[in-house]
Amino acid sequence: MKRGNGILMHISSLSNDQGIGTLGKCAYEFADFLHAAKQSYWQLLPICPTGYSDSPYSSFSTYAGNPYFIDLDILNNQGLLRDEDYKNIIWSNDIDKVDYGLMYQYRFHVLKKAVNTFHNNTPDDYYQFINDNKWVNDYALFMAIKDDNNGKCWLEWPQALKNREKEAIEAIKIKLKEEIKFYITIQYFFFKQWKNLKTYVNKLNIKLIGDCPIYVALDSCDVWTNTQLFQLDENNNPKAVAGCPPDGFSATGQLWGNPLYNWSIMEKDNYQWWIERIRHLGSIYDILRIDHFRGFESYYAIPYGQTTAINGTWQKGPGMKLFSEVKRQLNDMPIIAEDLGFLTPEVHQLLDDSGYPGMKVLEFAFDSRDTNGPIYYPHCYPQNCVAYCGTHDNEPIMGWLKDCDPVDLENAKKYMLIENEEDFNWKMISVLMMSVADTTILQAQDILGLGHESRMNTPSTTGNNWKWRALPDAFNKELANKLAEYTIRYARK
């Protein structure tokens, strides 16, 4: 990756009148802002459908696109919707928050109207989309059956459907034919809009950085169609689940609950499930960030049914055997390794062997709870890394300023030569951008100077995450000019 700077801003956080950011005008305007600010990268969170707790890291499919991101005005311009179909709906009660309850209540009703109109005269490229994206058939079937079972997890479906018995599957395909067609069509809508947006962004010489979560949700098409690839018992319940051990941040650790991979089975066909997953994500992004990279060296396994992560154990992962196959089959696809967390010499070695840039988080340098803290000081950064003030899992700078330990804050001020807290966010941004790190990425909240109220995610909590949205006109010409000035000053353009 060349020396450059980018902004972490999820699609959902863009401002418009549709209750959530979309692939329409608001996304193109943000791309224009990045171009005016001389940015090289636009980083996103996973763009897949959100499941439990509305988290993009807990999805019904690792392949599918989030239907909420389909822009309704574009469908209107295509003649698939009318103004009265959606413009009078109250999509949110707070301009700076996504209301996922209202999204769930109304969005699919509107999309069904567009789908019905679309199939009055189905174009040929719809069938080409299905042919080029074999995954969409299983995904649509999974979602249709899920709806038919009142949203229940597939483990609670009738036994024949849970086990994908051939006769039962063929029968349900006939029964739910229209519902399956609906889910296929909204994926067609999504990826048509996505492709057009990506083309526009790339023409501005901006690259999209996408996100690949290491784990998939138990209640997902990915697990339902590939049970043999996961550590499940004879009833398809997990034997153990993913998480993180207790540390200075959490006395009971983090219990994520995702099923764990059966790496020995995956190895038998040279990790083709992973190869195809990364190939797909590599086709929709320019650069791929792989989440929880340390979990490929060794992963934390928590016995199923535990209420905390205290009693987990470390198990060996595939290591370079997987990434050697990725390199061999996918021709050195650009990948960023999210190597944060509990790091060991073996994890450092895996990162070195892969050659991928790892991640550095400046806020961690000043957190006395983090035993890895010293490696996050900018004077310790290697050139081949991607550096952040904070990620979506951390406080925005101005929230961090208010909430961090006073002793840690004093240490930060001394290190960064900050005498007063005015424009603290831009002073911290300066320290990051002047580092030798090839790539620096800033949270959108940090260039806006926002605090705790704009935090995207607090790990191990539910209910208030993934909701933040920027206010209208937040990304204006004045801010673009200021960000461009910093970008040029530190030779990141």
What residues are labeled active site?
Answer: 291, 338, 393
Sign, CA torsion 160/163/169/175: positive
Full strand arrangement of the beta sheet holding 298-303 = 254-259, 240-244, 298-303, 313-316
Give 62's DSSP letter: S
Among 394, 275, 296, residue whose Cα is nearest residue 344: 296
Task: Report the alpha-carbon distance of residue 243 to residue 225 in Å, rounded.
Answer: 23
Q: Where are the alpha helices (DSSP H) in 119-220?
A: 124-132, 135-148, 159-162, 166-175, 177-203
Residue 385: strand, helix, or coil: strand
- The phi, psi pair for 173, rounded to 5°, reads -65, -35
For residue 371, the SS3 value is coil
Q: 187: which 2 tokens?
A: 């994926």
Strand-pair partners of 5: 440
Q: At what angle do helices 135-148 and 177-203 cross, to 10 degrees?
A: 130
- What's the CA gap between 201 and 209, in Å, rounded? 12
Give Cβ neighbours of residue 72 (< 8 Å, ≥ 6 apart).
Answer: 18, 22, 24, 81, 85, 86, 110, 114
What does the block give as tokens for 121? 């005269």
Residue 132: which of 283, 242, 272 has the closest Cα?
283
CB-facing half-sphere around the CA of 290: CA atoms within 13 A: 25
